[in-house]
Amino acid sequence: MSEAKFLPFALPDIGEEEIAEVVDALRSGWVTTGPKTRQFEADFAEFIGDGVEAIAVNSATAGLHLALEALGIGPGDEVVVPTYTFTATAEVVRYLGADPVFVDVDPLTLNMTAEGLRAVITPKTRAVMPVHFAGLACEMDAIIAVAREHGLKVVEDAAHALPTLYQGKLVGALDSDATVFSFYANKTMTTGEGGMVVSKDKDLIARCKVMRLHGISRDAFDRYRSTTPAWFYEVVAPGFKYNMPDIAAAIGLHQLRKIRRFHAQREEMATRFDAELSDLPLILPSRPAHASSSHAWHLYPVRLKPEAGISRDDFIARMAEKGVGCSVHFIPLHLHPVWRDGYGLTPADFPAAQAAFEAEVTLPLYTRMSADDQARVIAAVREVLGA
């Protein structure tokens, strides 16, 4: 085992189909947003179902920004976000000159809650951005009910939640205003960099389409296909450069076709971790509370109990010595200087997130890990914990 290769914390799972499709895009001459992106959007909307439309962008961060912009969020507005997330969730609120308002999370699921949301609503609150941590959906019925009661928009940060069922429906098809997925390299499927905005709101989709490409009323592929002169376009707003290139969509087309298989593998690995780590002084990740809900298993986050007798940092260092890469999700936003100092946040304001951060370790879980790789991870955890 000492000579075994270092097992990284995450790796993308790219096959020959993706490679061939990228080569096809390169040879076709259409490398930016074009037919493959159109197909990827159509396939993605069909996968989510329920009549949603899908807009491909070059990151989830871009998608979150576009969704909030389309909903009219601007200076003076407040947008509620959990502290237990990646900084992108809050930074897009600042892009628009609005202010993020940070809430603590449930101590077991590490998701934000309806009660947490209700407690911070002011006359300035305009929207809430639930984050489905690790791939477990927030209690969306309750969050949406509070949001509707107070006239708030709901934009789901579903960067971890493909595919996640919430009470029988895929995240993306719930009654929020928009849902945004990430195809970053370590997510449950990848396009290298990329994201998708999904919504049933035709006006929101139309605005996102215009704003993802400079505020231009027609994109290059529309112009290419249209009967009016190809050179003609109008700029209707100062937009952004957020379109997904066909080179990336080529990867996404095949990753999406594999997502059910990827998910089955992740589910099986999570079940094995649960079974083989359950006797240890660890808090294992929460599972869905409803039978008709499921977990995407983007991450497998465990927390060290005090009786483990080892700090989170020492645990990660010992795992690395045994050739296993671990990570931490998340360093909560209230600890980062930009949010801490900008909004006067302290750990005492977020006791659940603070306690989770101090004890959290994310174990490697990805489809290119073999059963033997996972056995190595389990053996390393057991040795480090002296079991």
Ligand X SMILES: *Cc1c(COP(=O)(O)O)cnc(C)c1O
Q: Does 277 bind ligand X (CB under 6 A)?
A: no
Q: Which residues, at least 6 apart from 246, have a Cβ–Cβ distance to it below 8 Å?
A: 25, 28, 30, 31, 32, 33, 34, 35, 36, 37
Q: Which of 36, 153, 169, 187 is catalytic?
A: 187
Among 195, 239, 301, 332, binds ligand X (CB under 6 A): 195
Q: Does 55 bind ligand X (CB under 6 A)?
A: no
Among 56, 93, 131, 356, binds ligand X (CB under 6 A): 131
Find out whether 270 and 164 touch, Cβ atoms under 8 Å: no
Q: Does 197 bind ligand X (CB under 6 A)?
A: no
Among 59, 111, 265, 294, binds ligand X (CB under 6 A): 59
Size, binding site for ligand X by CB under 6 A: 14
Q: How far is the CB of 195 from ligand X (least distance, A)?
A: 5
Q: Does 243 bind ligand X (CB under 6 A)?
A: no
Q: Which is nearer to ligand X, 113 or 182 (CB)?
A: 182
Q: Which is nearer to ligand X, 194 or 380 (CB)?
A: 194
Q: Which is nearer to ligand X, 159 or 345 (CB)?
A: 159
Cα separations (Å) of 166 from 24, 62, 133, 181, 264? 37, 25, 13, 15, 17
Q: Does 252 bind ligand X (CB under 6 A)?
A: no
Distance CA 100, CA 87 (A): 11
- Segment 138 to 157, residues that bind ligand X, using CB under 6 A: 157
Distance CA 17, CA 7 (A): 25
Q: How far is the CB of 131 from ligand X (least distance, A)?
A: 5
Distance CA 375, CA 246 (A): 39
Distance CA 208, CA 219 (A): 12
Binding mask 159-178 for ligand X (x = CB under 6 A): xx------------------
Binding mask 60-99 for ligand X (x = CB under 6 A): xx-----------------------xx-xx----------
Among 113, 164, 182, 362, binds ligand X (CB under 6 A): 182
Q: Does 184 bind ligand X (CB under 6 A)?
A: yes
Q: Is 153 a catalytic residue?
A: no
CA nearest neighbour of 107 among 285, 310, 233, 276:
285
Q: Which residues pair with 198 in a beta bridge?
A: 54, 179
Q: Locate the DSSP E strands across the chain.
A: 53-57, 78-82, 99-103, 125-128, 153-157, 165-166, 169-170, 178-182, 195-199, 282-283, 300-304, 360-363
Q: How far is the CB of 338 from ligand X (least distance, A)?
A: 16
Q: How far is the CB of 232 from ligand X (least distance, A)?
A: 33
Q: Which is nearer to ligand X, 14 or 379 (CB)?
A: 14
Q: Tell how strand 195-199 and strand 178-182 pair up.
A: antiparallel
Q: What's the chain's Rg over C-alpha atoms? A: 21
Whether residue 163 has a cis bond before it, omega within 30° of 0: yes
Q: How far is the CB of 375 from ligand X (least distance, A)?
A: 28
Q: Which is nearer to ligand X, 65 or 126 (CB)?
A: 65
Distance CA 8, CA 170 (A): 30
Q: Which residues pair with 362 in a beta bridge?
A: 301, 327
Q: How many other CB atoms sit within 10 Å of the CB of residue 113?
A: 21
Q: How far is the CB of 194 from ligand X (least distance, A)?
A: 7
| Residues found near ligand X in the complex (CB under 6 A) | 59-61, 85-86, 88-89, 131, 157, 159-160, 182, 184, 195
Catalytic residue ranges: 187
